[in-house]
Structure 1
Amino acid sequence: MIVTREAIRFWRHGRVVEAAGFHPRTTLLDYLRLQERKLGTKEGCAEGDCGACTVALGRVRGGRVQYEPVNACILLLGQVDGAEVVTVEDLVADGDFHPVQAAMVSHHGSQCGFCTPGIVMSLFTLYHEGERPLTREAVNDALAGNLCRCTGYRPIVDAALDACGGDPDDSFTQSSERTLEGLTSLADGQDVFVGGTDGFFAAPATEDSLAALYAQHPDATLVAGCTDVGLWITKGMAELEKIVWLGRVAGLDIIDDGTDALAIGATATHAQAYASLARIDADLGELMRRFGSAQVRASGTVGGNIANGSPIGDLAPALIALGAELELRRGESIRTIPLENSFIAYRRQDRLPGEYVRRVVLPKPKAHEVFRAYKVSKRFDEDISAVMGAFRLTLDGRRVASARIAFGGMAGIPKRASETERALAGISLDEASSWGEALAAIGRDYQPLDDLRASSAYRATVARNLLFKALSETASGQTHATRIVGRRDALEAAE
């Protein structure tokens, strides 16, 4: 890798800030609190769950500055290269509260105040990016990653509906042209390398630079969104000395939404991929809406979720059921494998030293194919699945000609249900009595995990029930809602 820049650069308070010589494991939260002494950003869970550390990053997208919430506790300092960093201290302009802050005060949206800065920053991004007119459900989605133990969410949501329903008009919109020019000037297309050969933070600007660097340092840790690796650092105390951030690699985030297939670049975030995935099927869209929080979706990437190899990751089973293929690169060599073949054992994948995930390609269901996906967890929002089931059924009239089924949370890897797939071939959607063998085959395909999230027996029962649900919905052509959230509003509307 040709070293062209030995410091990261980001936009802060209307000027360029350079940071060099930092440890590769330095988090944005530590930088803000220990270097800048900006103490409004809090450390709560240190794992990206509570939202007390939420700050906003502004990046140029579509010719304008777009603000997104991120968890500063698990975001590495080097990842803010090329972005604007906004903290709660930055919102007051000429001594006046930001509209979001004023609404929080008027609606009594804070008690102890520890979580309030993070909530305000999430609402700041909603203020700039939220739908118009704003709905209560959209506010709930935006705040899913912000926990509050003492205030109660109703006044906070009321504050959001009050402040975030119109066109944004604050000091950030007024200075948007200058910010856009500043951020554009930071996009120099140069490789970044902070440190030495024994320990560094690197941010290659091209795939060729990435391939060369990773081939030279196959022991380095690749980071995209850092929503998982961040926990290795904050919770596992992992002493990672070589970190390569993929967020600056040009073209690695491209989403090619074609007629027959969807190709998602490895560094495309879940937020960026959401619309394309939701167009494939409503179930896939709902799965992604419940994927972590707004902060996690803004940072976490599709490629990172796959490369992580977690047995409880939600995206891999859905993509496996759709028949996705994974594209890998090592040096100058590129190979493609079925996604399910990439998972070998718990946290082990078919990737050679120096080989990285480049993109995932999934065929879109055809007219005679039906897709269903369900996530079952203890908590509706921002929770790890106990069981995640995905089903693609190929129909021949009213019969199932073939099936692709994958589950997460049932084994040490995201895994196909091969016996169940064979048992489904030829069954009639009109004769539920013919489904029994396929339902029983689930028990032969898996010996489910038994942990704190769910017992083995519970997982086995839920997996069978999800298959039955998929078949029932396919037979009737209707989706049966099982969510109880919002039922009170629906009942009141009916009255």
Structure 2
Amino acid sequence: MTDPTPRPIRFVHQGQIREVSGLPPTTTVLQWLREHAHCTGTKEGCAEGDCGACTVVVAEADPVSGELTRRTVNSCIQFLPTLDGKALLTVEDVTRSAGPGQLHPCQEALVACHGSQCGFCTPGFVMSLWHSYEAHETPLPRPALADALSGNLCRCTGYRPILDAGEQMYAAPRTTMDLAPIQSLLHQLNQTDAASLLYEGPNAAQAGKTQRFHAPRTLAELATLRAALPHARLLAGSTDVGLWVTKQFRDLGELIYLGRVAELRHLGRHVDAGGTTLEIGAGVALEDAWSALSEAIPALREVWLRFASPPVRHAGTMGGNVANGSPIGDSAPILLALNATVILRQGDSQRELPLSDFYLDYMKNAIQAGEFLQGIRVPVPGAADERFRAYKVSKRRDSDISAVCAGLWVKLDGDTVTEARLGWGGMAATARRARATEAALVGQPWNETTLRRAQAALATDFTPMTDLRASDRYRQRVAANLLERFWLETRPDAPLAADQIQVWPATR
């Protein structure tokens, strides 16, 4: 494979195609907006994708249908070259769409409901409200609206007037953005730049050095490129790697971006005699992956909604979350309990590995040089004798990192446990199954005596650490309590319904 000729980054912004060159590949979208495009409506708050002040909308055309997909993302951690072939929409575009001298209904509602005090977070709320307004013709129920705004933090106004505005913005005559000009420009752009992107710019971490950013378009190109550059940094949603630049000022070296490889965005369902399996490409957004999992396994809905925030789920990928291997990542413990496997590719060869064998040590996995994660296969539990639950415990309900996350699955023959898979996050250097606890369950009746033995075994499976999120004793106690809750919900005799053990879903 020969490298494509380096070219500028090209994307649609404010009704025209922008060309950008000469900037470091790790320049963030927010930096470009404020420092180069002089669009200062978008704010920088945390610079780590947590507060939502920098929220923008990225639009992308489906290569076949041309249909436009619009999603909120955090511009503070998105690298500018990831916009290539896409459209960038900001708070200035929302205001402009309302007409000269007018405010958009979501902005008018924020004013009328006193939804802004210091105003710093307001542009981010406007973008999330506008995204919801464009996607829904009638107001969302307030709990669903709160979920949609969970990636936007406000320190002074409080959320009630903002939620009021989210309902009231539908009272005015409906104003929707004309998407035809954006679609036309994106079509023009993608006809011109059908080949893969190679962008070169100065290395922000090493003066005088050049940094390259590759964005292959096909799986075959990616495999060849990865074989040629086995030590290059793979970049998916940038929701973790972006912080290595904005917080740690690290040199990322050569970058290979996975976001333009269509095959990695495949999300499908395979049904055979063995049951149903979800196949999730490594480039599938977290939002889409969790949505599909939640549809197939309703017990996952709450973990889906509490996994980070919509802007993070829109940008990040489940493949990236699994490959990253953080011991407090929420995907891995759930997937461990579901007996998921990972598909690893090197050149033209593939191998399938149980996720339980994938993690070797803290932030170390079984991926070999020149290899990459191509996808994840997840068997869907559905038999009458299977019991599955997922739990997340964190200090803050929305958009917070877990202290403990658990995926718990057992198979019963009558009232006897025949198989068990218990996946845990936050309890060890990697997400891991509790093998001793599983052994204490298998072959035993699913009753309180067995539960107590399993809780005792759980203390031998893990020696958790103490950090800012939780102490080791807290994690051990919470894990034991979650195991008990699982038994209470799934025991053969009088299992408890959800509204008997948790207030929040009953009020939503």
Normalised-by-shorter TM-score class:
over 0.9
Q: Counterpart of 2:40?
A: 39
What whole-Å deviation, never above 9, does each CA across 1:405-431 have from its counterpart, x for those lacking one?
1100000000010011111012223x3
Aligned-partner Cα distance in 2 for 1:352–1:25? 26
Shift of residue 21, structure 1, vs aligned partner:
3.1
The residue type paired with residue 400 of structure 1 is: V
The Cα RMSD (Å) is 1.9
CA gap of 1:294–1:177, structure 2 versus 1, over 3 A, is same
Structure 2: stretches of 5+ with no match in the other structure: 202-208
Q: Say which SS state the counterpart of residue 381 (structure 1) adopts.
A: coil
The residue type paired with residue 253 of structure 1 is: R
Query: Does 2:265 align with 1:253?
Result: yes
What whole-Å deviation, never above 9, does each CA across 1:174-220 have from its counterpart, x for those lacking one?
x2122222223333431000117952111111112111222222221
Match among 472, 494, 498 for residue 480 of structure 1: 498
Shift of residue 165, structure 1, vs aligned partner:
7.9
Match among 200, 207, 223 for residue 219 of structure 2: 207
Match among 157, 163, 181 for residue 163 of structure 2: 157
Would the aligned equivalents of 1:2 and 1:191 in 2 still touch at CA under 8 Å?
no
Q: Say which SS state the counterpart of residue 190 (structure 1) adopts.
A: coil
What whole-Å deviation, never above 9, does each CA across 1:120-174 have from its counterpart, x for those lacking one?
111111111247441101111111111111111111111111115899633x2xx
Shift of residue 441, structure 1, vs aligned partner:
0.5
Aligned-partner Cα distance in 2 for 1:484–1:364? 27
Would the aligned equivalents of 2:291 and 2:304 in 1 still touch at CA under 8 Å?
no
User: Matches of residues 483-494 of structure 1 in structure 2 within 5 Å?
Assistant: 483-485=502-504
Q: Counterpart of 2:197?
A: 192
Q: Counterpart of 2:69?
A: 66
What whole-Å deviation, never above 9, does each CA across 1:347-376 have from its counterpart, x for those lacking one?
111111121110000111131211111000
The residue type paired with residue 86 of structure 1 is: L
Aligned-partner Cα distance in 1 for 2:133–2:173? 8
Shift of residue 79, structure 1, vs aligned partner:
1.1
Q: Counterpart of 1:462?
A: 478
Would the aligned equivalents of 1:133 and 1:165 in 2 still touch at CA under 8 Å?
no
Aligned residues with identical type, % of pairs = 44
Aligned-partner Cα distance in 1 for 2:174–2:504? 30
Aligned residue pairs total 485
Aligned-partner Cα distance in 2 for 1:290–1:443? 27
Match among 153, 176, 180 for residue 177 of structure 1: 180
CA gap of 1:130–1:316, structure 2 versus 1, over 3 A, is farther
Q: Counterpart of 1:225?
A: 237
Aligned-partner Cα distance in 2 for 1:389–1:166? 45
Q: Counterpart of 1:236?
A: 248
Aligned-partner Cα distance in 2 for 1:365–1:439? 24
Match among 469, 486, 500 for residue 453 of structure 1: 469
Q: Say which SS state the counterpart of residue 329 (structure 1) adopts.
A: strand
Q: Counterpart of 1:275?
A: 291
Q: Say which SS state the counterpart of residue 25 (structure 1) adopts.
A: coil
The normalised TM-score by structure 2 is 0.91
The residue type paired with residue 195 of structure 2 is: Q
Would the aligned equivalents of 1:224 and 1:246 in 2 still touch at CA under 8 Å?
yes
User: Matches of residues 407-426 of structure 1 in structure 2 within 5 Å?
Assistant: 407-426=424-443
Would the aligned equivalents of 1:387 and 1:409 in 2 still touch at CA under 8 Å?
yes
The residue type paired with residue 41 of structure 2 is: G
The residue type paired with residue 214 of structure 1 is: R
Q: Say which SS state the counterpart of residue 187 (structure 1) adopts.
A: helix
User: Matches of residues 284-433 of structure 1 in structure 2 within 5 Å?
Assistant: 284-367=300-383, 368-429=385-446, 431-433=447-449
Aligned-partner Cα distance in 2 for 1:451–1:479? 34
Q: Counterpart of 1:135?
A: 141
CA gap of 1:364–1:397, structure 2 versus 1, over 3 A, is same
What whole-Å deviation, never above 9, does each CA across 1:101-130 have from its counterpart, x for those lacking one?
111111111011111111111111111124
The residue type paired with residue 145 of structure 2 is: V
Shift of residue 302, structure 1, vs aligned partner:
0.6
Aligned-partner Cα distance in 2 for 1:378–1:338? 31
The normalised TM-score by structure 1 is 0.94
Would the aligned equivalents of 1:134 and 1:165 in 2 still touch at CA under 8 Å?
no
Aligned-partner Cα distance in 1 for 2:381–2:390? 13
Aligned-partner Cα distance in 1 for 2:468–2:92? 40
What whole-Å deviation, never above 9, does each CA across 1:36-77 have from its counterpart, x for those lacking one?
011111111000000111111112256432321110000110
Structure 1: stretches of 5+ with no match in the other structure: 491-495
Stretch deviating more after TM superposition (475-484 or 36-45): 475-484
Stretch deviating more after TM superposition (22-31 or 57-66): 57-66
User: Matches of residues 114-133 of structure 1 in structure 2 within 5 Å?
Assistant: 114-130=120-136, 132-133=138-139
Aligned-partner Cα distance in 2 for 1:323–1:462? 23
Aligned-partner Cα distance in 2 for 1:404–1:462? 18
CA gap of 1:166–1:450, structure 2 versus 1, over 3 A, is farther
Q: Counterpart of 2:91?
A: 88
Q: Counterpart of 2:14?
A: 13
Aligned-partner Cα distance in 2 for 1:214–1:166? 52
Would the aligned equivalents of 1:54 and 1:69 in 2 still touch at CA under 8 Å?
yes
Aligned-partner Cα distance in 2 for 1:321–1:382? 23
Aligned-partner Cα distance in 2 for 1:218–1:300? 22
Aligned-partner Cα distance in 2 for 1:166–1:207? 47
Would the aligned equivalents of 2:6 and 2:200 in 1 still touch at CA under 8 Å?
no
Stretch deviating more after TM superposition (195-204 or 289-298): 195-204
The residue type paired with residue 191 of structure 1 is: S
Would the aligned equivalents of 2:346 and 2:372 in 1 still touch at CA under 8 Å?
yes
CA gap of 1:28–1:311, structure 2 versus 1, over 3 A, is same
Would the aligned equivalents of 2:343 and 2:376 in 1 still touch at CA under 8 Å?
yes
Aligned-partner Cα distance in 2 for 1:416–1:79? 36
Would the aligned equivalents of 1:411 and 1:446 in 2 still touch at CA under 8 Å?
yes
Q: Counterpart of 1:76?
A: 79
Q: Say which SS state the counterpart of residue 2 (structure 1) adopts.
A: coil
Q: Say which SS state the counterpart of residue 262 (structure 2) adopts.
A: coil
Stretch deviating more after TM superposition (159-168 or 193-202): 159-168
Q: Say which SS state the counterpart of residue 359 (structure 1) adopts.
A: strand
